[in-house]
Amino acid sequence: MTTARTVLITGGNRGIGYSIAEEFIVAGHRVAVTARSGSGPEGALTVRADVTDTASVDAAFSEVERELGPVEVLVSNAGITADTLIMRMADDDFDRVVDTNLGGSFRVVKRASKGMLKARFGRIVLISSVVGLYGSPGQVNYASSKAGLVGMARSITRELGARGITANVVAPGFIETDMTDALPEEQRAEYLKSIPAGRYATASEVAKVVTWLAGDDAGYISGAVIPVDGGLGMGH
Ligand code: NDP
């Protein structure tokens, strides 16, 4: 049994974030999720936050701190796509994807780092994607935002690594969620052919890696990119 921690997951009302929250609850942690709508799984505290808004992030952290104590484990999971070929990609399609996926992670990590530094303990997990390092046509905005998370985790590791804080990236491949349900059928079939495992993953297969990274056994892993992609990215 790993030490019980206060955990905050962004975007925990559905998909991978919801599953990560469930996994931490089962493992006996104090769990909060942010949601713009809906709520996290039973047993999680749900707080409202839009990760593109610094004041909203600050208010959400303050509520979690009041209810559950300082955030010791942060999982930056909230993310969006706005896929289209670069020739057709509007500036706004680029900006809002980067502002949510990369900027949102910056906002929550910055807010969490204060308490982690004080506690001289912290676990930061950034949910990236196989396409961050693999590339993907039609996802220049999304892949850029997800690649940026690698530089973020590694810089945090260099800045805060000596204070008991780790920062890692989990890079899922194709996971059965609303995000992949939205893909056209031909594209889904095409992707499937390129995955050595020959199948998509479940959200819980990602969640188990995240909880392990946040646990006592993973204290010496930092700045790493952990793929959960059935071999698609070949370890990057
Ligand atoms: P979903 O689309 O199912 O869920 C996305 C989550 O992010 C929702 O909770 C959503 O909240 C939240 N969110 C989006 N924008 C904001 C915002 N501005 N502020 C706060 N919350 C926000 O996605 P998945 O579960 O599939 O993906 C989760 C993460 O995993 C993402 O970062 C994604 O890029 C990554 N990923 C997913 C893969 C997949 O195959 N599904 C593969 C690789 C990576 P709301 O419900 O309010 O919209």
Burial of 222 (0-12, 13-18, 19+ CB in 10 A): buried
Please indicate, yes or no, if residue 162 is contained in any of the structural domains.
yes
Pocket test for ligand 1, best of 22, 46, 80, 152 (most atoms within 8 A of CB): 80
- Residues in contact with 151: Cβ distance below 8 Å, sequence separation at least 6, in sequence order: none
Please indicate, yes or no, if residue 170 is contained in any of the structural domains.
yes
Show the domain range for 215: 6-227
Distance 12 CA to ligand 1 centre (A): 8
Distance 130 CA to ligand 1 centre (A): 15
Please indicate, yes or no, if residue 46 is contained in any of the structural domains.
yes
Please indicate, yes or no, if residue 37 is contained in any of the structural domains.
yes
Distance 182 CA to ligand 1 centre (A): 12
**φ, ψ (nearest 5 deg) of residue 45:** -80, 125
Ligand 1 and 178: CB distance under 6 A: yes
Distance 17 CA to ligand 1 centre (A): 7
pLDDT bucket at 236, cuts 50 / 70 / 90 = confident
pLDDT over threshold 90, residue 181: no
Please indicate, yes or no, if residue 235 is contained in any of the structural domains.
no
- Of ligand 1's listed atoms, the one at least distance from the Cα of 76 is 32
Give dist(CA 201, CA 161) in Å, integer.
Answer: 31
In tens, the pLDDT along 43-54 reads 999 999 999 999
- Of ligand 1's listed atoms, the one at least distance from the Cα of 52 is 18
Distances (CA, A) of 128 to 25, 50, 58, 77, 149: 22, 18, 23, 8, 7
Give mean pLDDT, residues 130-135: 97
**How much is the mean pLDDT over the chain?**
96
- Of ligand 1's listed atoms, the one at least distance from the Cα of 37 is 47
Give mean pLDDT, residues 215-231: 97
Looking at residue 191, its pLDDT comes to 83
Catalytic, 142? Answer yes
Please indicate, yes or no, if residue 83 is contained in any of the structural domains.
yes
Contact 72, 114 (CB under 8 A): no
**CATH number of the domain within which 73 lies:** 3.40.50.720
Residue nearest to atom 20 of ligand 1 (CA): 50
Angle at 59 between CA 69 and CA 82, to 5 degrees: 115
In tens, the pLDDT along 61-95 reads 999 999 999 999 999 999 999 999 999 999 999 99
pLDDT over threshold 90, residue 176: no
Looking at residue 10, its pLDDT comes to 98
Looking at residue 1, its pLDDT comes to 62
pLDDT over threshold 80, residue 96: yes
Please indicate, yes or no, if residue 85 is contained in any of the structural domains.
yes
Looking at residue 2, its pLDDT comes to 84
Give dist(CA 48, CA 33) in Å, integer.
Answer: 8
pLDDT bucket at 179, cuts 50 / 70 / 90 = confident
Please indicate, yes or no, if residue 233 is contained in any of the structural domains.
no
**φ, ψ (nearest 5 deg) of residue 192:** -55, -40
Domain total of the chain: 1
Residue nearest to atom 11 of ligand 1 (CA): 11
